[in-house]
Each structure stands twice: as structure tokens, then as C-alpha cells.
A = this chain, B = another copy of it.
Amino acid sequence: MMFDGRSWRKEARQGMSGIADVAKLAGVSKSTASRALTGAGYVSDATRLRVVAAAAELDYVASTNAVSLATGRTQNIGVIMPYVTRWFFAEVLEGIHDALLQRDLDLTLYDARPGTQGRARIFEQFLARQRFDGLIAVGLEPSDHELERLLAIDRPVVGVVGEGGATSVVAIDDDNVSRRATEHLIGLGHRRIAFVGGGTGDFWSFVDQQRLQGYLETMATAGLSAYAEHAPSPVDLPGGYAAAVDLLAGVRDRPSAIVATCDEVAIGTIVAARRLGIRVPADLSVIGIDNHEYAEMFSLTTLAQQPREQGAAAVELLVEHIRDPGLPPTRLLLQARLMMRSSTAPPPGAGSAAYLDSELGDVL
């Protein structure tokens, strides 16, 4: 006895034609149609053409669910990140998105803001669904428990920013980057150099820790530890602004230069300085890390990283891991480039005595 299973959902793919329709129109079997369309297996050129024509004729689009079920591949990549509103993350996201688009892969977004209930749900429920062939984790900094959940999913994971360990990672060398920023300032003749940024209490991100570390070590190496000073702040523009006001306002012997943990903080610092009547770079040098979209407008000297490229590289890496699950974890380190603009200069009383940073030569 025939049972019409369609009855309970006759509207589901209403109008959509399936591969059976294509096969019928082309006068071949479903198998052949499938082979012709996917390119897997032998099909004569003649029939392929007929099938392709039929598919076009019918506006055939394969049901991804059916394909996924049959192949075990979702053609979808998960992206999980702690912020989508911050510049770096949004840029990485776009880089990932564009790279995926080119490979015909979809992107499912998980916005896992630290400390939120949503984040917990993502780790407990959403990731377990494994609606993706692989996952890109951007600056995630998972807790031990979260990491465990992450490794429990049976799909390759690639990180952007951070250490990696068991998974592949693309990042810049954060320690080295703040070192170069600091050295640039020292090279200009500054001694009293402060570091602005990094967490306030709860969320001290790994990246910021590394950058502070690089700064401190560089100061120590230069024998400038006594001048080292750290003004913590939320890692955004208003945060940098507030921290800079605290650091600079009404103080007589303030630092002559500042290393900011990122451009947002650096720009906040510049805005604060201007408001306080402190001239940049005449009275105060500021260097950032990022090359934010606003950097040029504020003439900010910075170490440029390319988040879009990092996103694209992560996609490449992930795709390789999906193709070959046996691949060992890689650590891809991208270089940051010093962008000389005019927020840094020799310190106030330095005159011509200041010597130029070696890297400056590359630019001039």
C-alpha cells in the first residue's frame, strides 16, 4: 500500500524541483544526474550537458540538508568570537566571511561575550549541534571548561589570536609587537613611557597581558624599569580616554610617551590629550597597535596588523584541516608593520639630540 508522506508538509519545498525532476527532464537516472552535477564520477560530456541544462531550466538548487545528511558535510563554518562590535573582531569576521564566500561555504556566527548567559548556552548547546564542518575561534580565550567543550566537538578548530596548543592558530606575535612599539619610542629618546590598556579587573585578555609583558621587558632591557608605568583601562576608545585623563590631567611630571595596547585606546588617549591641551606629538608621543580605520585621521603611528588577512588565513588553514583531519596543528605568525605617522616624535626637550629609530629608515 502506497503512503504519501508528502501530505503532511506539501508546502515544504513548494515549487522547488529536486534532483529527481532534473533527472527526469534530462532523461537519466538520479545517480547520473547527481554525478553530472557534483562532478564526482564518470559522466559523458553529452549527458552532463543535458543534465546541466535541465538543472538550469528548472532552477535546481540542491537541498543542503539532504546533501549534508548523505555526505556528512555541512558546507558551513562556525565562527565564534567574544565581540562583533570591536574593530579588530569585525574586520576578522569580514575577512573570514569573504574567504568562505569564495569557497561556497556558509558562515554561522556565535557571539560569545564573556560573562554572558548567552556564552554559556553557546558552549553547552549550540556547539554540540555541530552544524559546521569546522570552527574558527577568534580571540576566544576559553575557560578550562569551555576549552573542554571545544575539544569535545568532533570537528577541526582554528584559532585567531592566542596560543593554540592543540589547535592551529594564526596570530601576530603580540609580545614582539609591543616590544617594537616600545623600542620605537625609546629610539626617539623617550624615557618616561607609560603603557595604557589591558583589562580592568575581570577580563584581562591574554593578548593584553602579552603586550604589557613585552613593554615591561623592553623597558627593563633598556634600563628604564624605574620609568615604567601601567594605566589599566577598558580596551576601547572611551576606556583609553578615561585612563589617559587619569594619567595625564593635572600632573606635572607626566610621561612623555605612551604605548597603547591597541589603536582604540591610543586614539582615546590622543583625544584626551588634546582636550587637556597637551599637544601630540610635541608634548606627548602616542603609539598604538592595529592600524585601525581611524588611525590615519588621528595621524596615529601604529604597528599595523591585517585582521582581514588573518581571517582569510584562518579559513585556508581550517579548510586544509577539514580536507585532511590528520594534519598536525600549525602556528602561523603574521608580521606587524610599523606605520609611521605623526603621533610620535622626540620628547619635548630632546632637540636634535634624539636619534632615530632604526625602523624609521625603512619609511623615509
A101 to B154, CA, bound (A): 22
Query: Does A296 lie within 8 Å of B238, measured CB to CB?
Result: yes
In angstroms, Cα B131 to Cα A15, docked, is 16
Residue among A61, A118, A126, A131 with most chain B CB within 10 A: A131
A63 to B325 CA separation, bound complex (whole angstroms): 21
A122 partner residues in chain B, CB cutoff 8 A: 101
Q: Which B residues are CB-close (under 8 A) to A108?
A: 76, 106-109
Find A91's partner among B59, B85, B106, B109 (CB 8 Å cutoff).
B85
Could you say which residues of chain B place their CB within 8 Å of the CB of A238?
293-294, 296-297
Among B74, B84, B237, B325, contact of A93 (Cβ-Cβ < 8 Å):
B84
Contact of A45 with B by CB under 8 A = no
> A16 near B154 (CB under 8 angstroms)?
yes
- Residues 282-295 of A, flagged 1 when their CB comes within 8 A of B and 0 if not, give 00000000000110
- The interface bits of chain A over 55-71 (1 if a CB of B lies within 8 angstroms of the residue's CB, else 0) are 00001010111101101
The smallest beta-carbon distance between A219 and chain B, in angstroms, is: 29
B131 A118 Cβ-Cβ under 8 A? no
Q: Which residues of B contact A106 (CB under 8 A)?
A: 108, 126, 129, 131
Give the chain B neighbours of A252 by CB distance below 8 A.
none
Q: Decide: A109 and B97 in contact? CB cutoff 8 A.
A: yes
Bound: A98/B122 CA distance, A: 11
Is A170 an interface residue when CB atoms closer than 8 A count as contact?
Answer: no
A226 to chain B, nearest CB (A): 33
Q: Which residue of B lies closest to A122 (CB)?
A: B101
Task: Give residues 117-170 of A contacting B (CB, 8 Å).
Answer: 118, 121-122, 125-126, 128-131, 154
Instruction: Check A241 for interface membership: any CB of B closer than 8 A.
Output: yes
Interface residue? A316 (CB, 8 A): no
Q: Is A72 an interface residue (CB 8 A)?
A: yes
**In the complex the two chains form, what is the Cα distance from A71 to B66 in whole Å?**
12
Supposing A126-B106, A296-B238 touch, asked if A9 and B101 sit within 8 A by C-beta, the answer is no
Q: How many residues of A contact B (CB 8 A)?
A: 59
Q: Tell me whether A38 is interfacial, beta carbon within 8 Å.
A: no
- A234 CB, nearest partner CB in chain B, Å: 11
Contact B94 A85 (CB under 8 A): yes
Question: Does A323 lie at the interface of the complex (its beta carbon under 8 Å from any beta carbon of B)?
Answer: no
Question: A62 to nearest B CB, angstroms?
Answer: 8
A212 at the interface (CB under 8 A from B): no
Q: Kindly state the separation between the CA atoms of A84 and B91 in the bound complex, as whole angstroms.
A: 8
Interface string of A65-104 (1 = CB under 8 A from B): 1101101101010000000110100110110011001101
A12 to B74, CA, bound (A): 11
**A271: Cβ under 8 A from any B Cβ:** yes
Listed from nearest, the 5 A-B pairs whose CB atoms lie closest are A12-B72, A65-B68, A85-B90, A238-B297, A65-B69
Seed contacts A16-B154, A238-B294; 17 additional CB < 8 Å A-B pairs: A13-B72, A61-B130, A65-B69, A84-B90, A84-B93, A84-B97, A85-B90, A85-B293, A90-B90, A93-B111, A94-B111, A98-B111, A102-B118, A104-B125, A106-B108, A108-B109, A237-B294
Could you list 24 examples of A-B contacts with CB < 8 Å? A9-B72, A11-B325, A64-B129, A65-B74, A76-B108, A76-B131, A84-B90, A84-B94, A84-B97, A85-B87, A94-B111, A98-B118, A101-B118, A101-B121, A101-B126, A102-B118, A106-B126, A106-B131, A107-B108, A109-B109, A236-B293, A268-B297, A271-B297, A274-B275
